[in-house]
Amino acid sequence: MVDIVACTNSQILASRIAGALGARLIPVERKVFPDGELYVRLLGEPGDEAVVVQSLSPKPNDALVELILVSETLRDLGVGRIAAVIPYMAYLRQDTRFNPGEAVSAEIIGRLVRSMGYYKIVTVDMHLHRVRDPSMLLGPAVRNLSAASILAEYAVKTHNLRNPVIIGPDEEAEQWAKKAAEPLGAEYTVFEKKRISPEEVILKPRGLPDLKNRDVVIVDDIISTGGTMAKAVAEAYKNKAGRVVAAATHAVLAPGALGRIYGAGAVDVVATDTIESPISMVSVARLIVEELKRP
């Protein structure tokens, strides 16, 4: 029987995974020494197989060190097979060297995680830019799932949306808009981003369907500052949309993010539990359990 090890950032999600699998849940105790070093302790004796669940947000540096310490402790205690569920994979923004001397953190952290020897690495909606294949960063053991469809389904059912249109707030979000629209049989499109200055960005519709009196779900992978999502919500209303729901897999939520989006007129802002937050209304536990059951 596999054990589910609940690291600090994913205790709720880990408990949901354990419950769905009928597996034992092993909590992790984490303390911080005065110099900033981490102390971790498994609050249970592991068996032969374990799944470590740890989102790399908030505080990705501490979260990553905790993941490494817990995984290596499991090996020290004789666990033969270890998988990692990393619902939010951090350090993906810097995937190339833009300026001389920069660290390509996506490759470096990818190699570090890959070197841990997990038999399977499960992530959700990795924030991929120039590197489209997640296995190039995390190796062949990675399984990158998507929560776009369950987010859109939740928004449509919860708010009884009429003839909804799915919109990605920028070109990079087209992959999530498409995945969200397909199970619903809905139309989808994206806004195209045009930068006016380092601080100012405008969005223009690309082949936008007629939104008059139609409800809209704007789907993205991450809400960080909320700026892009807020602009997309406002743009949908400019095009006569009915109600607009903002949805994203990962709720990073910098200060003021939710206020910006609600201020633009969104009737709701929803996210998943890849990062535990006040808007984590949709759980990815079922998606992860299905993947863990696969060979």
Report pLDDT digits (tens) over 16-67: 999 999 999 999 999 999 999 999 999 999 999 999 999 999 999 999 999 9
Cβ atoms 189, 204 nearer than 8 A: no
- Band of pLDDT at residue 198, cut at 50, 70 and 90: low
* Residue 58, preceding peptide bond in cis (omega within 30° of 0): yes
Average pLDDT value for residue range 241-259: 97
Catalytic residue status for 238? no
Q: What is the mean pLDDT of the chain?
A: 95
Average pLDDT value for residue range 222-226: 96
Q: Write the CA distances from 1 to 14, 26, 79, integer angstroms.
A: 16, 13, 12
* Residue 201: pLDDT over 80: no
Instruction: Give the 3-state secondary structure of 35-74.
Output: CCCEEEEECCCCCCEEEEECCCCCCHHHHHHHHHHHHHHH
Residue that is written with structure tokens 């998988």 in the block = 83
Give the model's pLDDT for residue 99. 94
* Residue 157: pLDDT over 80: yes
**Which structural domains are found in the chain, ordered by start?**
3-146+283-293 (3.40.50.2020), 148-273 (3.40.50.2020)
Exactly one of 59, 120, 178, 193 is catalytic; name it: 193
Give the model's pLDDT for residue 63. 98
Give the model's pLDDT for residue 199. 59
Cα-based angle 267, 234, 152 (whole degrees, multiple of 5): 50
